[in-house]
Amino acid sequence: MAIEVISENASHGGVQGVYKHASAATGTDMTFSVFVPSHEPGAKLPVVWYLSGLTCTSANVTEKGEFRAACAELGLIFVAPDTSPRGDGVSDDADGGYDFGLGAGFYVDATQEPFAKNYRMWSYITDELPAFVAQHFPADRTRQSIMGHSMGGHGALTIALRNADVYRAVSAFSPIVAPSQVPWGEKALSGYLGGDRATWRLHDAVALIYDGARFPDILVDQGEADQFLAVQLKPSLLAEACNEAGIALTLRLQPGYDHSYYFISTFMADHLRWHAERLY
């Protein structure tokens, strides 16, 4: 399992790297970024996984997320995968939409053609990439947590809810909490998984909670000036589900903040401290 170094830069006493490898899950080369803080030789560090949103790559949070100072202080490895497979021959949205196809993998394993061949982001994120990262970096797979933004918030919530024994913490910025009930999710889940809505429930955080999935506590930050809040995000649906299930949800509505990385970077350190408290 060879790793290709695209770049490595010293930052906050550690190393910010961007890497590429050949993925068996997606059948493509995949690029991801990793920040490793300064640490004692031989030490294993907890890992925070960050899942990005629609149209993004690993570069968005790496360049705009402002996470390295907090990760250096807290002793956290920060891993940012891509949002979909890419490359020649990888199917895209035939209509050219930004919310499906390239950059919009929705963290599912597609079952519908022509996407089933490459769009296996669930397997890539939950299985292949963690094993690969542990092989090449000082990552402690017994101490992992997950977070994400928008589509990536959807991915983080569903992955944590279905793997509560693997991840010690989960948080999200502006997550798509109920993709079965909003246009972004309906387009993606029908395109990747087909028309049977029963199969969508495994990739819908609100549905998972009503179906019995549990996680001890969840942190969500949502900008009140987010242009997607009312139609695509609907955090109140998550609040209702968590309340009924007895899940401790910290939902913070942030006045004046939108959907951008100006918002994410403002509260990134808060989220990383939340994760560190549960990883150490």
Q: Does an H or E element contain 47, and which?
A: strand 45-51
- Between CA 14 and CA 215 the distance in angstroms is 32
Q: Which residues are bridge partners to 140 per DSSP?
A: none
Q: Tokens in use for 18?
A: 């961007």
Choosing from 21, 149, 226, 275, the catalytic residue is 226
User: For residues 166 and 144, is the Cβ–Cβ distance under 8 A?
Assistant: yes
Peptide bond into 216 cis (omega under 30): no
Among this protein's residues, is 203 annotated catalytic? no
Whether 270 is a known active-site residue: answer no
Q: Is 217 a catalytic residue?
A: no
Q: Reduced to 3 states, what is the DSSP secondary structure of residue 115?
A: coil
Q: Which amino acid is at 178?
A: A
CA pair distance 154, 214, nearest whole angstrom: 15
Report the distance separating Cα 6 and Cα 54, nearest Å: 23
Tell me, what DSSP letter sits at residue 180? G
Selecting among 52, 150, 171, 174, the annotated active-site residue is 150
User: Where is 145: in which H helix or E strand?
Assistant: strand 139-149
Q: Which residues pair with 240 in a beta bridge?
A: none
Query: Is the Cβ–Cβ distance between 225 and 256 less than 8 Å?
Result: yes
Q: Would you name the residues annotated as active-site residues?
A: 150, 226, 259
